[in-house]
Structure 1
Amino acid sequence: LRKCLYNAGFRPGDIVMNTFSYHLTPAGIFLDDACNGIGCVTVPTGVGNTEIQVKTMAGLKINGYIGVPSFLMSLIKKMEELGHDTAKGLSMEIALVAGEILSPSLRKGLNDYGIIVRQAYITAELGGVAYECPQENGMHISDDLYIEICDPVTGEPLPPGSIGEVVVTDFSNECYPLVRYGTGDLSVLDEGECLCGRTSYKLKGIMGRADEVTKIKGMFVHPRQIDEAAAKFSDEIEKIRVVVTRSGVTDMMTVEIQLKHGVAGIDTLKTAIDEKIRESTKLRGNTVFVAEIPEGSKKIEDKRKWD
């Protein structure tokens, strides 16, 4: 975890607010110890008490944050609500976030406040598994771990570039050995070299949980992949979902789109969405525009019937 923090940009003397819980979960203690190990001053605020945390941020001129990304944005919005000038008076400079998916829009929103955001993949059983470097193009895997991306059902390793469950073997823990430990989290293994100079493999972020995944034409598809594709068309798309059916022995993937009012150029938009969905899922789908997607619909609706 010290590597995670140092690579994120934390340095000795930084005043760091640790908002992970210290109760009935190891996250708070793990990261508190790591902060102290690299010489940071740790303020153990834990979760909740937003107004008190805002006063703590302002009063102590805290420049580092550890916690989930959405809570950091909540703290900033609360500061603005209480009359703080976040454009000039925000001392926060660096954040290490974990525990939930960091969307591109949330990262950009925090960046707009002048905060550098790095994400890490941390579990209670393994500690720091992987972490971002300044390139922000995937998370470098810790040197003492061996990671496979596996079929969540069979446990068999999947080829490079496939989305699957993160399965970890830990070579460093003599007291608590873990061999092919299934985390239940989904990711993709990136074997390419990073511009930062590291040659180790990376994880392309955490894409959800294995129990949310759907297998279509032999490929695992997760709701986050659909959301990432739709994010490129946020000005046009109101709602999106994928409907999976079966024609004979062939899986059919239909992408249903509810457009915002007044969107023009539908034919060009359909082509662009088809390409983005194919890029995200590695599958060819058929985009159709519908008047309305029912409220509460699943992101991936599996309507296949199995005899």
Structure 2
Amino acid sequence: MYSRVPLEFPRRVAVPKTTRVLDGTRRWANLLLAIAQGTLALAFIFGVWSRNAAGFRRDPPIVPAFYELAVWMVIAVGCIVYAFYQFGAARRADAVLRRVGSFTAAGFLGCCAWLLAAGIGRPAFAIPALCWTAACLFFAFMPLWKLRGVAPCFRWCVVAPISIYAGCLSVAISALAARNFRLVLGQPPGSVALLLSATLLILVVLRRSGGNLFFAATVAWGLIGIGVRNQFELKNRAAARIVWVSLIAFVAAAAWLAVRGNREDEYEDEDEILEG
């Protein structure tokens, strides 16, 4: 004789209303601000390229060549892809997206303010806005440093856009300092000192990120832009040589850190298997 035991089904955990509101606000803010940012970035890039380059040649040697701005097209598209990815209902409660989502939305807002201020020629507003954007994207970048077992879709839709954005802003902040504060150490010595200091700081961040290749490739792209401008536009051979040496050293360090990071992940996986 069989006894009837009632079947127990897993109960759906009720999500607090405050959490649902915050998730919805975060998802919508990222989506709308990413689209606005992309539109303003494209308008700004074509506006800059259409201007007279005479003023650009008066910038310090650490400012990259014009073509380096093309990375903003990649950033604009990448951020929109990220915004649509995180907007999906299935990823509403994703723990990583919750951690980075508020920072990315705040960063997109800061970038919109920066592009608007720069477009109308208001550096007093553009500089704080760019610093705000860099800080927000850095805090969004930090939770992605030690992620393991990431799905390819998540890697390309979340990790890649945020890492590229953080790398571009690392170069942009250095160029901003060179352009607006005119370097107490003078030019070109001040530019060279700032370049070397920025490269060392970026290497520290790269080490902490486990050799993030998206971040490293974007920084290398910026260094190439600085080298090209000094080599072919400014005809500053001495500064160009220093940039090329810095680029080679940076690429070698980035490759070493990437290999080291992969080996550490393999060792951690082996330890987990042994413990299991």
TM-score by length of 2: 0.27
TM-score by length of 1: 0.25
* Structure in which a larger fraction of residues adopt helix: 2
